Amino acid sequence: MNGQHPDLQRAIPALDDLPRPVYARAESLWAGSWTGRHHHAWVQLSYAISGVLGVHTAEGSFFAPPQRAIWIPAHLEHQVVTSGRAEMRSLYLGAEACAWAPPRCRVLEVTPLARELVKAFCELPVDYPQGDSPEQRLVSVLLDQLRTLPEVAFSLPMPREPRLLQLCQALIDQPGASLTLGDWAQRLGTSEKTLSRLFQRETGMSFRLWRQRLLGSLGVLEEGASVTAAALDCGYDSTSAYIAAFKGLFGFTPGELFKQR
């Protein structure tokens, strides 16, 4: 990501191994907090209690508004960012604890029961008792619940072609930028037709559709901006068109999504 402030870089826990099959980390993050690209030998579940988390990988960008979580498989290089202030809870899970999970990044809806289980687990000591103990039984129920969390569509495929990657990264950084595909083609020294064909081949969707995925507006809405402001930030001429597009993508309106804010 461009424009990251070095004072807002988050430290990555220096762990050679997990002290237990499931390990918790609770953080209150300032707007603009970020990690460098890294990977580790365990699965990570990053859960947004409030705020919007973004996880960027070579395959795509994944966003978790409130009460959603991002599942990051072991050994996948990734970077975690926040556009606004956020309360985050992370679970680190040993591979043996979640062998059932598909080896890909996913955005999951955190159910009320899973939310309370994560909250209770975060209050346990790092070296919680194992065996036939209440703590271990809580962990077992938590893992059972994580296994059933529904996947939701808060992701964008990322191209690998360097010019397209530069374009997409700029749009993630500034979703309201008014540059057209023709403008980008001129900047990148190619034709609009070539850029359009490359975009379709690399992402599986048109530039227009990719740009209208609206993920960049999640942070704006979470910070308390009006729907009208978010619509303008995404380049929409009318609030109603923005709401219709938002509901078409996510299945609910901005107001319904952020009703728990």
- Token readout for 53 is 């988390």
Backbone angles phi, psi at 53, to 5 degrees: -95, 145
Across 81-90, 117-126, 241-250, the highest mean pLDDT is recorded for 117-126
pLDDT tens digits, residue range 222-259? 777 888 888 877 777 788 888 887 877 676 788 877 76
176: pLDDT strictly greater than 50: yes
Which residues lie closer than 8 Å to 172 by C-beta, 6 or more apart? 1, 54, 56, 61, 156, 215, 216
Mean pLDDT of the 19-37 span: 88
Percent of the chain exceeding pLDDT 90 equals 34
HSE (side-chain half, CA atoms, 13 Å) at 206:
7
Band of residue 2 on the pLDDT scale cut at 50, 70, 90: very low
Which residues lie closer than 8 Å to 50 by C-beta, 6 or more apart? 66, 85, 86, 87, 222, 261
Least confident residue range of 9-23, 77-91, 232-246: 232-246
Band of residue 146 on the pLDDT scale cut at 50, 70, 90: very high
- Token readout for 40 is 């580790």
Q: Shortest CA distance to 44 belongs to which of 122, 120, 98?
A: 98
111 vs 158: which has the higher pLDDT:
111
Mean pLDDT of the 45-65 span: 84
What pLDDT score was predicted for residue 213? 62
What pLDDT score was predicted for residue 49? 85
Q: What letter would DSSP give residue 214? A: -
- Share the mean pLDDT of the chain: 84
What pLDDT score was predicted for residue 169? 74
pTM tops 0.85: no
Mean pLDDT of the 20-38 span: 88
Query: Cα–Cα distance between 75 and 94 in angstroms, integer?
Result: 12
Query: Cα–Cα distance between 59 and 159 in angstroms, integer?
Result: 7
Percent of the chain exceeding pLDDT 70 equals 91
Query: Cα–Cα distance between 34 and 84 in angstroms, integer?
Result: 11
Band of residue 87 on the pLDDT scale cut at 50, 70, 90: confident
46: pLDDT strictly greater than 50: yes
**What domains does the chain contain, in order, with CATH numbers?**
6-152 (2.60.120.810), 158-257 (1.10.10.60)
Spatial contact of 137 and 191, defined as CB atoms under 8 Å apart:
no
Band of residue 86 on the pLDDT scale cut at 50, 70, 90: confident
Query: Cα–Cα distance between 87 and 187 in angstroms, integer?
Result: 38
Band of residue 63 on the pLDDT scale cut at 50, 70, 90: confident
208 vs 77: which has the higher pLDDT:
77
What pLDDT score was predicted for residue 175? 57
Residue 85: C-alpha distances to residues 35, 64, 139 (Å): 15, 13, 29
Q: Shortest CA distance to 261 belongs to which of 222, 228, 216, 231?
A: 222
Mean pLDDT of the 5-21 span: 84
What pLDDT score was predicted for residue 261? 47
